[in-house]
Amino acid sequence: MDDLDVTGMMNDLRRRLKPYDDPRRKISDMPENGMKKEDILGQLRKYAETENEPWKHGMVSGAVYHGGDELLDFLEKVYHIYSQSNPLHPDIWPSLTKMENEIVAMSSGIMNGGESVRGSVTSGGTESILLAMKTYRDYYRSVKGISEPEIILPTSAHAAFLKACDYFCMKPVFVELDHEFRVDVEKVREAVNHNTVAIVGSAPSFPYGIIDPIEELSRIAAEHNIGMHVDACLGGFVIPWAEKLGYHTGKFDFSLPGVTSISMDTHKYGFGPKGTSVLLYRNSDLFQQQIYANGTWQGGIYFTPTMAGSRPGYPIVAAWAVMMIMGRKGYMESSRKILETGKFIKEGIRKIPGISILGDPLWVIAMSSEKGGAYRIMDIMGKKGWMLSGLANPPAFHIALTMRQTYPGVREKFLEDLRSSVEEASMGSRSEAGMAPVYGMASALPEEQVSFFLKNIVEWLYSQ
């Protein structure tokens, strides 16, 4: 890209990502006198009204997975009751420990876990993945003496696994995908060596919405006596019901002896508030490696099951409350609606010339186009108001369907806009909108420059 393209991209990013970047209204220091409560609430309402509009109309991929007014009103009441609670102090708020244990038990039940399963609630899928990888590093250092740990990852595995490798000095060993966008099992088998501590499989993968062959991966893990982590952050509250609804998913949970840990996000299709995920281990031996405990600190006894010390209690309570409201029948019904919407949209996409679906997903649908260019189509969809997720290698984008896309007329509008966007893209039409230009530039840069480029974008985003 030339300088003009970069300038245009940055101007568009400023409009999209920093729309309030007005020097006249910028706060660079704390005010001498506090603002009136009414003025603060008024300003927050203006922000929220503008920013909530896209997801309320079902124009956003993922991000808000339920968002129904009745549920949101209920969660506001829960927040009022538990806003000041902190699970770091189980002596003050023992009810938080009770509810966290019950979330783990309910999640284990969904995943066919037995009485030996242990786990905790984390702040999200990334923390669940970080903790699981840290646990495998420490466990196999203890039982096998492995000092240079490696984890085997599909190339479609979530970036949080690479973050874990970066944080905890572990080596990622990548395995390519097959023609169905599932990890190649035989290549996984070949990649196992004396330093391997865990194999990772996705249920489903974030980029393509495809479930890896977990049953076959779990056999390899059991044969070599190594960990097998199932990343069900995205699908943990959908896939268990999908099979019962007639969709083929295959086994992916603790019913497979080789599966030793599972992560599943209550703040996605569990419909809890942002800030909750569940990490489950097959047994106490693994969970013990996750816990930090210190009995010699001058400040007293200190222990935490997760990375954080103080944690807000509200997300835990709210996740528990939503699970109690939904019940198994509630999750079955929400999954039915989402999966039916996915089937409808896939059938519609297959009738649009010039665009193709990657693999055979259920509800996270990735698309690519050689004729019009995936990023160009994503650009034009952005101009029409759709906030979709860009993918790389190959260039593509996806929509992660949520309850918002099951609302009347949304799926039809998506297909209508997609058809017209593909047609515009094939004629060379171009739009500068959203994150698509960033994906385009990142894909055009040499691999060693991409990280530098993205870190500078992030620094710009968090600067005054």
Full pLDDT tens readout for the chain, 464 residues: 444 466 667 777 787 788 888 777 788 888 889 999 999 999 999 999 999 999 999 999 999 999 899 999 999 999 999 999 999 999 999 999 999 999 999 999 999 999 999 999 999 999 999 999 999 999 999 999 999 999 999 999 999 999 999 999 999 999 999 999 999 999 999 999 999 999 999 999 999 999 999 999 999 999 999 999 999 999 999 999 999 999 999 999 999 999 999 999 999 999 999 999 999 999 999 999 999 999 999 999 999 999 999 999 999 999 999 999 999 999 999 999 999 999 999 999 999 999 999 999 999 999 999 866 899 999 899 999 999 999 988 899 999 999 999 999 999 999 999 999 999 998 875 555 556 667 766 766 777 777 887 888 888 888 87
Residue 380 in domain: no
Q: Which domain holds residue 189?
A: 80-323
255: tokens are 């019913």
Residue 69 in domain: no
∠ CA 352-356-357, nearest 5°, is 120
160: tokens are 């949080």
Domain count, the chain: 1
The whole-angstrom separation of Cα 339 and Cα 405 is 11
Query: According to the model, what pLDDT value does residue 4 have?
Result: 42
The whole-model pTM stands at 0.93
Residue 165 in domain: yes
The whole-angstrom separation of Cα 74 and Cα 328 is 19
DSSP string, 75-89: HHHHHHHHTT--TT-
Closest C-alpha to 282, from 80, 111, 403: 111
426: tokens are 């094939």
Query: According to the model, what pLDDT value does residue 458 have?
Result: 84
Strands, E assignment, 35-183 = 118-122, 150-154, 171-175
Query: According to the model, what pLDDT value does residue 1 have?
Result: 41
CATH number, position 128: 3.40.640.10
Query: According to the model, what pLDDT value does residue 437 have?
Result: 64
For CA atoms 372, 374, 375, 378, the dihedral sign is positive
Residue 217 in domain: yes
Residue 278 in domain: yes
CB 129 within 8 A of CB 172: no
Q: What's the one-letter identity of residue 300?
A: G
Residue 73 in domain: no
Residue 201 in domain: yes
Q: What is the CA 8 to chain-centroid distance, rounded?
A: 30
The whole-angstrom separation of Cα 368 and Cα 348 is 15
Residue 70 in domain: no
The whole-angstrom separation of Cα 252 and Cα 43 is 46
